[in-house]
Structure 1
Amino acid sequence: MSKAGALDLATGLGGKIDKNDVLSAVDKYEKYHVCYGGEEQERKSNYTDMVNKYYDLVTSFYEYGWGESFHFAPRWKGESLRESIKRNQHFLALQLGLKPGQKVLDVGCGIGGPLREIARFSSTSVTGLNNNEYQIERGRALNCIAGVDQTCDFIKADFMKMPFPDNSFDAVYAIAATCHAPDAVGCYEEIYRVLKPGQCFAVYEWCMTDAFDPSNEEHQKIKAEIELGNGLPDIRLTRQCLEALKQAGFEVIWEKDLAVDSPLPWYLPLDKSHFSLGNFRSTALGSLITKYMVMALEKVGLAPKGSQRVQAFLEKAADGLVAGGKKEIFTAVYFFLARKPNFDDLSYVETTF
């Protein structure tokens, strides 16, 4: 079970950053972003530092408020948030056609919530690729608790330069992770390289939709808030992701923005106008309580200086995500399934639903 208490939140804040350096790390992180005068090219050039600082600063907040799986999911009426997240992880495993004993790669695995669920659901061995040392440390501890430490592990590495031989994996997936890549084509090419021919790559991607208008100031503000609050160098359009996949060599089997006909909106857990006892910490009242709790923990020295600032930009991110979802200019659940061609098999047919 994931840690959930206030003291656990406090002791984890800052990740592997020295507690005395958290405030300066927050300063540096914020300056990468448009809201604080940052430039897109600087974020892309320094994405490793930016994303690592982001996850050191926010992982404990994520785990405290969200559990072990840091992603959204399309949701049925009557279904809890955690049920929807598990169902969508199972859906991904089924789309990949996972079979017992296969070797699977989770690109940008966080603390391994999806990794553990998919490994148990499919009886596969899953390797989590992550460039953040603190998240890997947490993930290994949680793997031991879940009993998957003999079949699942983590590798610390940059997903733009994977330390695996060609054709290493039977399947690859990424959940709300490759959106951190400074170059989608380069990231997808690395995934293509390590995937065995004839096998598949599945993704839940974060994207701007075709409704996004770059000349609209409100749209730009929403995009900037999402980038700041989620450690993103930029946010690509769905069609840009699709084109990058093809440039990398993949055959697109099918793709769809799953937000379009979801019975409940993916952003509902963050919508402050919606109250839920099942996900109380992300409601307006729950967020207010967390805000004052973090303030108190920082004041008495249990949480490092700068913790309130992290909580503040995460609040801003939540507002941006909800606004982007409601205006349908952003989606956190763009799904695609792609295949690395097996050139002995020309039976591929592309379908868009």
Structure 2
Amino acid sequence: MAVNKVQLEQEDHQRDADFKKALHGKTAEDSVGFMAMMGKDKDAQKAAVDEYFKYWDGKGAGKETEADMKERVDSYATLTRHYYNLATDLYENGWGQSFHFCRFYKGEGFYQAIARHEHYLAHMMGLKAGMKVLDVGCGVGGPAREMSRFTDVNIVGLNNNDYQIERATNYAKKAGLADKHSFVKGDFMQMSFEHNSFDAVYAIEATVHAPSLEGVYTEIFKVLKPGGVFGVYEWLMTDDYDATNAHHREICHGIEIGDGISQMVKISEGLRAIKAAGFELEYHEDLAQRGDEIPWYYPLAGDMKYCRSVGDLFTVLRMTKVGRGAVHKLVGALEMIGVAPKGTQKTADTLAVAADCLVAGAKENLFTPMYMMIARKPLNA
């Protein structure tokens, strides 16, 4: 199923700032993870849950229509913004501050591997000290902080979620990187930066939220200086994926609903889109196909035999069926007695479905979270 025309959403920064204040209060400053989840305003949480799940409830993989898909694509910004209003604290509680996957080497700890994955992208892009770099879809700034420490670049983070911007800003201050980082509210489909203003741009598992890869890559092309480099780890369905296959579509739909994605596309579309945006593609590879002994998805699969530290064990334990079941019961009980905002359990359960579909997609060679593309803006552009 494909949607060709994309209608850009009207931005309303004041509305979003007001909603952030109503929902999150001071949790961006005072709390992390589980405690931040418990501190949400219950009425605002319900509004976020209702707004996000209206695009999905009753519209399973075998039931959704072309109109359902188009509604999600046209509402990409709202969909993504509310997804991260609901999921950010769950991500931080269960995964850390870098919201992405990575490859693993034997004997390598979870957070060491996460950092190496970021370093590898910086290396492949040729980032150098003093460069002005744009992080598209920066999350709470985990990768930006690692990139700055590794390469001494100056980073502007672009994000459409006010809560994540506030968290990223606070983390940069605590890390002593406030002079090298700034975070900007905005829609990556309609960037407000001056053209030809960045030496480099990267995106780590973020542009998958775009309603059109060609559209977001074109915006990135505009703000890059001639000769500038763009590096991306892209979420894509492989070219083995068949949208007419009910089983394949169920896996894809589970990834979409559980990760706030309006429409997944295939590797062939990613390659087409980056070239259509005007880039010269210098390198591309599905890093998930490197044949690593330890699969990238082992934490999601709850495979504890690969853990290398107590911290790794706790991270992976949360992903096991026992761990998920415990979280489900705990959050459900807290919702029942009014401690946890309504919808927290529904969000956690949806993330669990996504985890299962991501693992299934990987095992059946239908999905990759790390299709690397390194591209350059021509000097005469």
The answer to whether TM tops 0.5 is: yes
SS of structure 2 residue aligned to 1:232: coil
CA drift at 1:6: 3.3
Counterpart for residue 35 of structure 1: 60
Q: CA RMSD in A?
A: 1.8
Counterpart for residue 180 of structure 2: 151
CA distance in 1, matches of 2:341, 2:304: 31
CA distance in 2, matches of 1:120, 1:262: 30
SS of structure 2 residue aligned to 1:137: helix
CA drift at 1:302: 2.5
Kindly indicate whether the alpha-carbon contact (under 8 Å) linking 1:184 and 1:244 is maintained by their aligned counterparts in 2: yes
Counterpart for residue 361 of structure 2: 324
Counterpart for residue 34 of structure 2: 6
Kindly indicate whether the alpha-carbon contact (under 8 Å) linking 2:158 and 2:185 is maintained by their aligned counterparts in 1: yes
Counterpart for residue 312 of structure 1: 349
CA drift at 1:184: 1.0
What is the identity, as a one-letter code, of the residue corresponding to 2:36? D
SS of structure 2 residue aligned to 1:282: coil
What is the identity, as a one-letter code, of the residue corresponding to 2:356? D
Counterpart for residue 146 of structure 2: 117
Unaligned runs of 5+ in 1: 345-353
What is the identity, as a one-letter code, of the residue corresponding to 1:323? A
CA drift at 1:273: 5.0
TM superposition score normalised by structure 1: 0.91
Unaligned runs of 5+ in 2: 1-29
SS of structure 2 residue aligned to 1:105: strand
Which residues of 2 match residues 82-231 of structure 1 at below 5 A? 82-231=111-260
Kindly indicate whether the alpha-carbon contact (under 8 Å) linking 2:199 and 2:224 is maintained by their aligned counterparts in 1: yes
What is the identity, as a one-letter code, of the residue corresponding to 2:298? L
Counterpart for residue 301 of structure 2: 271
Can you list the C-alpha shifts for 1:100-149, whole angstroms capped at 9, x where unaligned?
A: 11100000000010011101111111010000001101111111111111
What is the identity, as a one-letter code, of the residue corresponding to 1:203? V
CA distance in 2, matches of 1:4, 1:149: 20
CA drift at 1:10: 2.0
What is the identity, as a one-letter code, of the residue corresponding to 2:353? K
Can you list the C-alpha shifts for 1:217-251, whole angstroms capped at 9, x where unaligned?
A: 11000000000000001111111011101100000
Aligned residues: 338
CA drift at 1:3: 6.2
Kindly indicate whether the alpha-carbon contact (under 8 Å) linking 1:76 and 1:262 is maintained by their aligned counterparts in 2: no
CA distance in 2, matches of 1:22, 1:281: 23
SS of structure 1 residue aligned to 2:289: coil
TM superposition score normalised by structure 2: 0.85
CA distance in 2, matches of 1:117, 1:131: 21
Counterpart for residue 25 of structure 1: 48
- In the superposition, relative to structure 1, how do residues 257 and 325 fare at CA in structure 2: closer, same or farther (>3 Å)? same
Counterpart for residue 334 of structure 1: 371
What is the identity, as a one-letter code, of the residue corresponding to 2:251? I
What is the identity, as a one-letter code, of the residue corresponding to 1:255? H
CA distance in 1, matches of 2:333, 2:217: 44
- In the superposition, relative to structure 1, how do residues 4 and 22 fare at CA in structure 2: closer, same or farther (>3 Å)? closer
- In the superposition, relative to structure 1, how do residues 5 and 209 fare at CA in structure 2: closer, same or farther (>3 Å)? closer
- In the superposition, relative to structure 1, how do residues 242 and 89 fare at CA in structure 2: closer, same or farther (>3 Å)? same
Kindly indicate whether the alpha-carbon contact (under 8 Å) linking 1:170 and 1:195 is maintained by their aligned counterparts in 2: yes
SS of structure 2 residue aligned to 1:253: strand
SS of structure 2 residue aligned to 1:333: strand
CA distance in 2, matches of 1:3, 1:87: 28
CA distance in 1, matches of 2:257, 2:322: 23
Kindly indicate whether the alpha-carbon contact (under 8 Å) linking 2:32 and 2:89 is maintained by their aligned counterparts in 1: no
SS of structure 1 residue aligned to 2:203: strand
Bigger shift: 272-281 or 66-75? 272-281
Kindly indicate whether the alpha-carbon contact (under 8 Å) linking 1:266 and 1:333 is maintained by their aligned counterparts in 2: no
CA drift at 1:32: 1.3
Kindly indicate whether the alpha-carbon contact (under 8 Å) linking 1:172 and 1:200 is maintained by their aligned counterparts in 2: yes
CA distance in 2, matches of 1:6, 1:96: 36
Kindly indicate whether the alpha-carbon contact (under 8 Å) linking 1:35 and 1:228 is maintained by their aligned counterparts in 2: no
Counterpart for residue 256 of structure 1: 285
Runs of 4+ in 1 over 6 A off after TM superposition: none
- In the superposition, relative to structure 1, how do residues 53 and 104 fare at CA in structure 2: closer, same or farther (>3 Å)? same
CA drift at 1:265: 1.6
CA drift at 1:336: 0.7
CA distance in 2, matches of 1:121, 1:129: 20
